[in-house]
Copies of this chain bind each other. A is one copy, B any other.
């Protein structure tokens, strides 16, 4: 498996890292890139992430046998519409969006007879810093990658998508778009939402800056995801809002239980609730989904 030309639509952290990973694995001959921002295009080129600059998304995909759309999820619709007419019927088209039902709907609405080219993908990887300057050839190494294939994808197309991600070190799991969105509402979107809320709640207090100046390593790790890219997370929270709000309601209920035990001084109940959480978290291992899927 070697690709002649990767078209990268969106030259940010995720897309740039994918291009660098493919280059490092010698899986691609040429990378052309397009980003809405001229400055980003130039930066990606200067950093060697892309080998040529395209003037439009449609131009980028011409003759490309591999296309990665790495834009905030709300921009997927317009991007697909722009590239559909220029897309080669043999191309493998993927995205890296953190939500899948909305991206699949956008693809169905725009890709027409090129729909079978599109294998939706979501790498469970990232950094709290955005931008192509943080792109990293090893970002996807030892990370899980979710594919949510469409009924119209041929088996060969799905296998090809599988192989690309495995070749750059990812462990591939297949889900339906709906199960994907329910899963990541719980384990990713809600934690982000809560981290945003907690930081804002502290910072808005008169002594908030003083409080923050004394925070320790527990706070550092807990709140790292709050530094994520606002445009990316605006789109994710809007696209998956129903599932995220559902998970938030469940979290508030669990918080109620803990707070009731605190208010009423029920030490045993409180310890039990904490022990449940502590035990669950202590048993948890990153990437265990792969082992489960294989077993």
Q: Is A276 a contact of B200 with CB atoms below 8 Å?
A: yes
Structural contact, B198 and A190, CB atoms closer than 8 A: yes
CB distance from A280 to the nearest CB of B (A): 5
Q: Are B251 and A289 in contact (CB under 8 A)?
A: no
Interchain CB contact (< 8 A) of A225 among B144, B200, B201, B222: B222
| Contact of A163 with B by CB under 8 A | no
B-contacting 9-mer, from A18-26, A41-49, A58-66, A213-221: A213-221
Cβ of A125 < 8 Å from any Cβ of B? yes
| Stretch from A9-17, A77-85, A101-109, A257-265 contacting the other chain | A257-265
Complex contacts, A4 vs chain B, CB 8 Å: none
Question: Is A169 an interface position by the 8 A CB rule?
Answer: no
The size bracket of the interface on A is: 35 or more
Chain B residues, Cβ within 8 Å of A222: 191, 195, 221-225
Q: Which of B205, B207, B231, B271 contacts A271 (CB 8 A)?
A: B231
Chain B residue nearest to A175 in the complex (CB): B214
Given contacts A197-B277, A201-B250, 15 further A-B contacts (CB under 8 A): A125-B216, A143-B216, A184-B214, A187-B202, A188-B218, A193-B255, A197-B254, A202-B250, A203-B277, A203-B280, A212-B280, A221-B224, A226-B280, A238-B267, A248-B255
Q: Which residues of A contact B (CB under 8 A)?
A: 74, 124-126, 128-129, 143-144, 146, 173, 182-184, 186-188, 190-205, 207-208, 210-231, 233-234, 237-238, 241, 244-245, 247-248, 250-255, 257-259, 262-263, 265, 267, 270-278, 280-282, 284, 286, 288-289, 292
